[in-house]
Amino acid sequence: MPANPPSLYPPIQPNRQGMLEIDDLHTIYWEEIGNPNGVPVVFLHGGPGAGLSPQHRRFFDPQHYRVILFDQRGAGKSMPLGEWRNNTTQLLISDIEKLRAKFGIDKWLVFGGSWGSTLALAYGQAHPERCLGFVLRGIFLCTAAEIDWFINGIRWFYPELYDEFAAPIPEAERGDLLKAYTTRLLSDDPAVYWPAARAWSRFEGRRVFLLPQEEEPASDTLDLGVGRLESHYMANLGFFSDEQLIRNVGAIAHLPAVIVQGRYDVICPPVSAYRLHQAWPGSRLRMIPDAGHGALETGIAKALVESTEQFKRNGRFD
């Protein structure tokens, strides 16, 4: 992970935090930062399954915003870790609404990157009356073409990572790596799912940033959450109908939105951000010329903070 971008706000601790039981299987972790009387924001992390980082609190002026952050089902501190059962986009949308009601919030700014942008769009289209606007980063529309790129197309840029990812899979199964990995990741046998989870997490993590970064120590929490839930959601096309997030943009087209996209993002390629912007004439697209996918790359972090500052001043992203 790169050094702290200078544009971020200083580190901050939650005002309060806790766990919310949302069904018989899942309990989610939440935290609140900033001004309890400030403009409400909901922060949606990536993955699915990546969970929160303390850095995620730092995109917002804590004197102005009241930010609710949470680990989605199966991610981070939510329990059970890596649980894919009772885990769909529609249920995540329901969880966001339960949190909104818990905190007595009428409307909030929706902030999400990567898979968080997917969930932000799905939530907004389901509940436009609850949204003030959108800050979106690294757009992922969860289409079959994007998923195929994530698994297979990446070999054009990172052939060595692709070969490393495919190597543990018997040659007879390599024609459908997503199916092969999903079968292993959703196994109940730790001897089967742990090696697959670590391989999946490495396959993604080594291409997040434009420039190589010092590799971080392995994290069982991240590996299991990301491996299991990304494969589960991708195998089910995000639980969306074809082109759903583009077809339904009209439900939120009246709301302000900014799209921050790294020009050299090889996880969520820029064409998805461009397609969303074309379908949403009132949105603002900020293409960062020297960035990949990571929210903490200098240009992306700067654009995200500038966006929350613009919204603070006038409720828009001019």
Q: Which helix (H) or strand (E) covers residue 17, if one does?
A: strand 16-21
State the average pLDDT over residues 278-290.
97
Any idea of the CA torsion for 158, 212, 275, 126, to the nearest 10 degrees? 110
Fold of the domain built from segment(s) 16-143+240-314: Rossmann fold (3.40.50)
Of 201, 232, 265, 283, the catalytic one is: 265
* 4: DSSP letter: P
Residue among 26, 45, 56, 293 flagged as catalytic: 293
Q: How confident is the model at residue 148 (pLDDT cuts 50, 70, 90)?
A: very high
**pTM beyond 0.85, yes or no:** yes
Look up 95 and say whether it is catalytic. Answer: no
Query: Model confidence over 201-252: pLDDT tens digits?
Result: 999 999 999 987 777 677 888 999 999 999 999 999 999 999 999 999 999 9
pLDDT at 309 over 90: yes
The proportion of the chain whose per-residue pLDDT surpasses 70, expressed as a percent, equals: 97
Condensed to tens digits (0 to 9), the pLDDT of residues 27-70 reads 999 999 999 999 999 999 999 999 999 999 999 999 999 999 99
Listed by start position, the domains of the chain span 16-143+240-314, 145-238
> What does pLDDT average to over the chain?
95
Q: What is the pLDDT of residues 96-112, one digit of tens each?
A: 999 999 999 999 999 99
Q: Which of 26, 45, 95, 114 is catalytic?
A: 114
17 has which bridge partners?
31
Is residue 293 among the annotated active site residues? yes
Q: Is 26 a catalytic residue?
A: no
Per DSSP, what are the bridge partners of residue 110? 42, 134
pLDDT for position 3: 53
Q: Which of 48, 55, 111 is nearest to 81 (CA)?
A: 48
Contacts of 159 (CB under 8 A, 6+ apart): none
66-98, pLDDT tens digit by residue? 999 999 999 999 999 999 999 999 999 999 999
